[in-house]
Chains A and B, each alone.
Chain A
Amino acid sequence: MSWNGIIVTAIAFAAGTLSAAYLTPHGPAPDMVQLEVDGKLLSVAINEVTVADWQACVDDGACESITSAKANAANLPLTGVNWFDVQTYISWRNARDDRTFRLPTLAEWSDISGKKTPIKRKLLFDDPRMAWAAAYGQEETPRGPVRVQGAWSRTADGVNDLEGNVWEWTASCSDPKGDPNRCPAMHVMGAHDAVLSVFVRNPASGGCTSGTPPTHVGFRLVE
């Protein structure tokens, strides 16, 4: 390592502001943007993980062949994966590419999307005893089939589809004090925050007695 490299690494350890990406020999991964997120520099994937990405894992024998991956075109975002599928993929990918990819936390995701205080329509009910019904009809849930990358939205930083119809798994447990590795339900982020059981691959559509669940669930990598 060069003298400059040693200084950079020393500063990194001291200040704790640089992400692990800068400590690897490879530098930031392709198709990622470097953003200041939650007080540190984070490498964020421009797009959600695709069917083609998943298929590479399947071909390697590490990931299961899943229905939605077979149904959708290779360049479409991958959907129909549960928490366990995502962990399997990330382990395989990190092993193959010698990287430290992971899911963003709820806080990181919110920062990346830039929506710190979501604009809400007036609540239907003010009475705290009616809190269970107050947000009815507020959540605008994009519906319909999975669309090509960039079809939904692009932030100023160049991150695609944070507001599309594919919700993204986060590393944050529904119980903030829970251990993320032993958590029954995790936050999934998209047009609105939702919580999904770790086993669910396809959130139910259209039948909730109140509130609207995510349309599809997929994921995005950060490092």
Chain B
Amino acid sequence: MTRGARTWLGVGAIVGVEVFLFVRYLEFGALFHFFVHSFAGAGLAIATVVGYRVCRPGATPPPASQPALQPALQPGLQFWAVALVGHLAAGLPDVLFLLLDLPHRSWMDAFVAHVAIHFVPAPLLTTAVVFVAGLAALVAQSYGRRRLAGACVLATLAVMSVALVARGPLPGTLEEVRATPGVALWCPLTTADSAGAPTS
């Protein structure tokens, strides 16, 4: 198989897996989880690899006289493969749920804070920021802007860390569930038809 064919095969595989995951989550009405775990997992994975490449011994910066003309190592398909691995790692508990009939447990936080991440402030927005920051690190590194890449990597890690520290609590009682803004603490005073008879 030629190198070109392998590359296109790799692209197809990555896109195919992501589309498959998207469709499966869509079937469960769980796209919220798809976005949260893919953004966080992929963003952190890309930032980690970029951070390693920027910081590893022997990585020399481009000459100061020509900062933009000597780009650093050119990222290729491998970064998107890393992003996919990060997504899969973050979403592994969902795979276990379907394949092994295993409801979520606290220990699944080992997979990119799979449970805890749901309770960070504005989880969709926060994880989207993590993802975009990771991509920004990738782009900066491809242009040879090592310091900017490093700053983006740090931003990715900082946003995720602060968000997890600031996360809300997992409710443990129905009273705590009802204390959520948007959930009624009391019955509305307006008359509402109530189908009181239970049906089975």
A, B in one complex: no
Residues of B that sit less than 8 Å from A by CB: none
Chain A contact residues, CB within 8 Å of chain B: none
